[in-house]
Structure 1
């Protein structure tokens, strides 16, 4: 009655070979995400610039400045990572495409 239902594990991982179409599709998706995050970053930075801090306390100025910088920096880091992934996948897709062309030429 209190015995757990044990299901057999099916840990079968299959390695899928990379091909140019998969790489370019991934590059397009990553580039789109990078552009979306970049647009979000510009919107956040503009919003912060248009709404100044209304306080005379220097500690409030320093903390809010640090938080604003941190938010824009983290979003910018995400933009850069997705952009680099998009470029890397595009380069890999081009490399695989050239390898397929030279393999069919030599065969």
Structure 2
């Protein structure tokens, strides 16, 4: 006897979308705070070297670290906005009785 998986809902509920948006917004705020702390830490500690190669590599690494945190902030912010929009769309669809299920 093979176990059949439970049926998967095609559209998420508005509550799940809005909770996901809140979680993504919290992660985005944490990433932004971490990026800000890293940037301030880098700015307060100058590079102590006269070797131009060391200075260039240090600048590149600092830029990459702050850039990766900015990317994480942006991606999670956009995910939060998208989930919020999907929650509003599904809420309005359920209020007005319109199904956005493509199979119907």
Q: Same fold (TM over 0.5)?
A: yes
Shift of 1:13: 6.2
Give the superposition deviation at 1:46: 0.2
Q: Please give the alpha-carbon distance, in whole angstroms, between the structure 2 residues aligned to 1:13 and 1:34.
A: 33
Greater gyration radius:
1
Total equivalences in the alignment = 97
1:99 paired residue among 79, 93, 101? 93
Indicate which of 1, 5, 12 corresponds to 1:12. Answer: 5
Shift of 1:15: 1.8
Structure 2 CA distance for aligned equivalents of residues 53 and 13 of structure 1? 58
| Distance in 2 separating the partners of 1:10 and 1:61 | 61
Q: C-alpha displacement at 1:14, in angstroms? A: 4.1
How many angstroms apart in 2 are the aligned matches of 1:57 and 1:18?
Answer: 56
Task: Return closer, same or farther for 1:56/1:30 CA change in 2, 3 Å cut-off.
Answer: same
Question: What pairs up with 1:51-66 in 2 under 5 angstroms?
Answer: 51-66=45-60
Query: TM-score normalised to the size of structure 1?
Result: 0.84
Aligned: 1:76 with 2:87: no
Which whole-Å CA distance do the structure 2 matches of 1:62 and 1:72 have between them?
16
Taking only aligned residues, the RMSD between alpha carbons, in angstroms, comes to 2.0
Determine whether 1:46 maps to 2:40: yes
Instruction: Say if 1:11 and 1:54 are closer, same or farther in 2 by CA, change over 3 A.
Output: farther
- The yes-or-no answer on 1:67 pairing with 2:61 is yes
Is there any run of 5+ residues in structure 1 with no aligned partner, and where? 1-8
- Normalising by structure 2, we get a TM-score of 0.86
